[in-house]
């Protein structure tokens, strides 16, 4: 019988915040207790305390109005705000009280999410590991099932991983059979994309945990698609969305984005366990846990209070999903395989109903929706679109489209513009942007008037956010103003022998977690072997090269997190370059920065900013390397509201 423990109570969390150790953790050396960050000025601490209080009160107010999304957003902002605070500041009674209130907010969000079935397996409860004879039996089953198998992702055979293997073949068997059945459609494509991007092919089973391989999956945090991208991260990695198309639902595009994001996280952390954990919790959360625990070992981090239970479960679930997913029959699972995801493309010159296109291609409308899950409505978007059709149907579809009258391309219902209607009002009624409504009817704004009949497309397949409905011009401007980090470097060209990495020499030592060397199955760890399939021939574990560096001297109040934010460099890079400064950074200490960071962070040196249309305090703060809270203090603002044309002080100089 499996035991499941609910999230820790408020009293237990309060004891953790108060410093009472409920879980055995390594005792820090005396030097680590003495070497603390310098105490900030009283005024600075007061400002930080006020910032935290505002966020906590906003999160509590959002919960009172049942706005869980806003409460979660304020909670995350508070987590980021306190990430680089000194131990002395965190121990203050007032801060302790605010942190306790924040934990209670996070608990309420977790409790409200728990009853709703998630599309994947991101479990918020703590799962008690099996032990004794049950553990030994599960270990023997795994050894027997995976005899002769090789993996390109590290698998630790500890009690937590074996517990999840047991769950996948018992209480969660139905979920796994359905998820792996859907996976049979997409795995060939995912493995190919991951191999091209230099990512371990076994990470394809991350989609089991995230979504169960469902393109239509949507979490309470508004993450969408098979790989569960939130909107901001999706845009960074090239996934756009509007009232017609949501590319986070597209299996091809989202898989490419996920591979690049995972590769980038590995470049930042140097460890595939930490990369996957960052994918779940976010890089900032993981960096904070590493700083506070003083370790980069995932299993040590999973015993701390700095990671949520969902993230602590994440790596054991992933390892178990790889083990079971690679050999489901050996674990007693019955998988019904689907036809692999394959298609031909047809260029559709103008907006056309999927029902009409299905008739042209000699297939079903449902088939086109499966091949084109990014389409939110029952048609292609205005303008040219590359439609996916079943293999062998492209030529038939093109012939039929060539002879199709323009008036028969759409089967939408019509709406007659009434007196008093405005373009914006009608567009919002049908969940469209004004530009999209005009484009769907080939109209200008002047032609949109009372008495005009317009075509109305079907409602979207998923709920749209406000950002989907802004005009294209406004949306492009807003995205231009947001500084987006570049994509990772182009992957190695494996067709060129000169670029191919040399094969590692055999060694009797146990390889590091990011090493692709094969070793025999051990009692507690299966090391990362080199894959034998040609598709996985490239080793994803690229040795990290430390960048060239420049230096600066720390000022009072500086921390590595603050310097990373100001100079637009990854915190993980600063930690690797300055290991002595991880625990404490004193005024005058020399800090090494990656080459090009100092003086070239891309931050403006201006001291005043005139608010433009689409600006927010957060976007302005990012542009000038400041905190939104600092902007409020410098400009004597009580809230987040700003007006176009308003002048804001963006520096304290």
> How far from 468 is each of 118, 437, 528, CA to CA, in Å?
24, 13, 42
C-alpha span between 150 and 167 (Å, rounded): 23
Confidence (pLDDT) at 572 = 63
Nearest residue to 380 via CA among 224, 257, 243:
243
Is 490 domain-assigned? Answer: no
**Is 622 within the bounds of a domain?**
yes
- How does the average pLDDT of the chain come out, rounded? 75
- 531 found inside a domain: no
- Claim to verify: residue 400 and residue 417 sit in the same structural domain: no
At residue 597 the predicted structure's pLDDT band, cuts being 50, 70 and 90, is low
238 versus 566: the higher-pLDDT residue is: 238
Q: Beta partners for 594?
A: 549
The predicted structure's pLDDT at residue 396: 92
- pLDDT-based confidence at residue 64 (cuts at 50, 70, 90): confident
Would residue 525 count as lying in a domain?
no
Q: Based on the structure, what is the number of domains in the chain? A: 6
Domain that holds residue 631: 608-649
The answer to whether residues 290 and 397 belong to one domain is no
Q: Is residue 336 part of a domain?
A: no
Indicate which CATH number applies to the domain containing 199. Answer: 1.10.530.10
Q: Which of 209, 201, 314, 340 is nearest to 259 (CA)?
A: 201
pLDDT confidence of residue 428: 82
The most confident of the ranges 116-125, 190-199, 428-437, 540-549 is 190-199
pLDDT > 70? residue 109: no
325 and 377 belong to one structural domain:
no
**Band of pLDDT at residue 83, cut at 50, 70 and 90:** low
CB 592 within 8 A of CB 307: no
End of a domain among 274, 299, 331?
331
The verdict on 164 and 225 lying in the same domain is yes
Residue 132 lies in a domain: no
Shared domain check, 143 and 84:
no
16 is a domain residue: yes
81 and 171 inside one domain: no
d(Cα 244, Cα 383) in Å, to the nearest integer? Answer: 11
Listing DSSP states for 308-325 in one string gives -HHHHHHHHHHHHHHHHH
What would the pLDDT profile of 339-384 be if each residue is shown by its tens digit?
999 999 999 988 899 989 999 999 998 999 999 999 998 889 988 9
| 171 and 229 both lie in a single domain | yes
Among the listed residues 79, 42, 28, the one whose alpha carbon sits nearest the alpha carbon of residue 285: 79
Quote the CA–CA distance of 436 and 438 in Å, as a whole number.
5
pLDDT cut 70: percent of the chain above it: 72
Could you tell me the CATH number of the domain that includes residue 435?
3.10.350.10
16 with 100, same domain: the answer is yes
294 and 177 co-located in one domain: yes
Indicate if 143 and 228 belong to the same structural domain.
Answer: yes
What is the total residue count of the chain?
653
Q: Is residue 125 part of a domain?
A: no
What are 647's strand-pairing partners? 610
Nearest Cα to 317, choosing from 47, 124, 522, 539? Answer: 124
**Token pair of 17, please?**
């915040």
Radius of gyration of the chain (CA): 27
Q: In sequence order, which residues have a C-beta less than 8 Å from that of residue 490 and are 6 or more positions away? A: none
β-bridge mates for residue 592, sequence order: 551
Q: For the segment 166-183, what is each residue's pLDDT rounded down to a tens digit?
A: 999 999 999 999 999 999
What's the whole-number mean pLDDT along residues 450-460?
79
Residue 218 sits in the same domain as residue 320: yes
552 strand-pairing partners: 591
Q: What are phi and psi of 4, to 5 degrees?
A: -125, 125
Domain boundary among 331, 357, 391: 331
What is the C-alpha separation between 461 and 457, in angstroms, rounded? 12
In angstroms, the Cα distances linking 598 to 290, 549, 550 are 25, 10, 7
Angstrom distance (rounded) from CA 498 to CA 495: 9
| Residue 223 shares a structural domain with residue 298 | yes
Residue 131 has which token pair?
């032990």
| pLDDT of the residue at 401 | 92
- Which positions ≥6 away from 498 have C-beta within 8 Å? none
Which of 482, 503, 536 corresponds to the end of one domain? Answer: 482
């Amino acid at each position: 019988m499996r035991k499941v423990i609910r999230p820790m109570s408020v009293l237990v969390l309060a004891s953790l915040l108060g410093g009472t150790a409920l879980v055995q953790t390594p005792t820090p050396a005396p030097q680590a207790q003495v070497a603390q960050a310098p105490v900030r000025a009283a005024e600075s601490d007061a400002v930080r305390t006020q910032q935290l209080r505002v966020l906590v009160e906003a999160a509590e107010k959002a919960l009172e109005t049942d706005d869980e999304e806003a409460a979660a957003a304020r909670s995350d902002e508070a987590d980021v705000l306190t990430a680089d605070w000194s131990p002395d500041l965190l121990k203050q009674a007032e801060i302790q009280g605010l942190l306790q209130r924040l934990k209670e907010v996070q608990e309420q969000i977790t409790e409200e999410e728990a009853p709703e079935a998630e599309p994947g397996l991101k479990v918020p409860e703590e799962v008690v590991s099996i032990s004794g004879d049950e553990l030994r039996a599960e270990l023997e089953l795994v050894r027997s099932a995976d005899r002769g198998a090789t993996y390109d992702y590290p698998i630790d055979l500890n009690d937590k991983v074996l517990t999840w293997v047991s769950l996948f073949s018992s209480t969660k068997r139905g979920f796994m059979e359905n998820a792996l059945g859907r996976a049979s459609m997409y795995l060939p494509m995912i493995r190919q994309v991951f191999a091209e991007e230099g990512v371990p092919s076994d990470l394809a089973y991350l989609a089991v945990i995230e979504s169960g391989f469902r393109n239509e999956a949507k979490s309470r945090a508004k993450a969408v698609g098979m790989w569960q991208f939130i909107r901001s991260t999706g845009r960074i990695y090239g996934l756009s969305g509007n009232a017609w198309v949501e590319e986070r639902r597209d299996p091809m595009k989202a898989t490419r984005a996920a591979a690049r994001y995972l590769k980038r996280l590995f470049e930042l952390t140097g460890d595939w366990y930490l990369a996957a954990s960052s994918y779940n919790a976010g890089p900032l959360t993981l960096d904070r846990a590493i700083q506070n625990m003083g370790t980069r070992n995932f299993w040590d981090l999973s015993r701390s209070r700095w990671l949520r239970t969902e993230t602590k479960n994440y790596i054991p679930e992933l390892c178990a999903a790889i083990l079971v997913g690679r050999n489901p029959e050996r674990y007693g699972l019955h998988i019904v395989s689907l036809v692999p995801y394959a298609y031909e493309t047809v260029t559709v010159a103008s907006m056309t109903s999927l029902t009409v296109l299905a008739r042209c291609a000699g297939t079903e409308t449902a088939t086109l929706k499966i091949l084109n899950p990014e389409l939110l409505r029952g048609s292609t978007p205005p303008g040219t679109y590359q439609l996916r059709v079943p293999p062998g149907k492209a030529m038939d579809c093109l012939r039929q489209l060539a002879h199709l009258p323009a008036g028969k391309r759409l089967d939408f219902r019509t709406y007659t513009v009434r007196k008093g209607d405005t373009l914006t009002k009608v567009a919002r009624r049908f969940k469209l942007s004004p530009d999209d409504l005009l484009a769907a009817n080939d109209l200008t704004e002047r032609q949109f008037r009372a008495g005009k009949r317009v075509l109305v497309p079907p409602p979207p397949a998923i709920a749209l956010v406000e950002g989907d409905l802004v005009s294209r011009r406004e949306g492009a401007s807003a995205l231009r103003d947001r500084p987006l980090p570049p994509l990772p470097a182009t992957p190695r060209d494996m067709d060129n022998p000169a670029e191919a990495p040399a094969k590692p020499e055999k060694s009797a030592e146990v390889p590091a977690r990011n090493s692709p060397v094969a070793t025999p199955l051990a009692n507690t760890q299966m090391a990362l072997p080199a894959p034998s399939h040609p598709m996985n021939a490239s080793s994803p574990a690229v040795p990290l090269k430390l960048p060239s560096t420049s230096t600066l001297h720390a000022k009072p109040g500086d921390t590595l997190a603050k310097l990373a934010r100001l100079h637009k460099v990854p915190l993980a890079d600063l930690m690797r370059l300055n290991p002595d400064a991880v625990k404490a950074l004193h005024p005058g200490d020399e800090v090494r920065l990656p080459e090009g960071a100092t003086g070239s962070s891309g931050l403006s040196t201006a001291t005043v900013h005139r608010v433009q249309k689409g600006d927010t305090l957060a976007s302005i703060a990012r542009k000038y390397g400041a905190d939104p809270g600092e902007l409020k203090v410098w400009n004597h603002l009580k809230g987040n509201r700003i007006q176009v044309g308003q002048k804001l002080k963006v520096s304290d100089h």
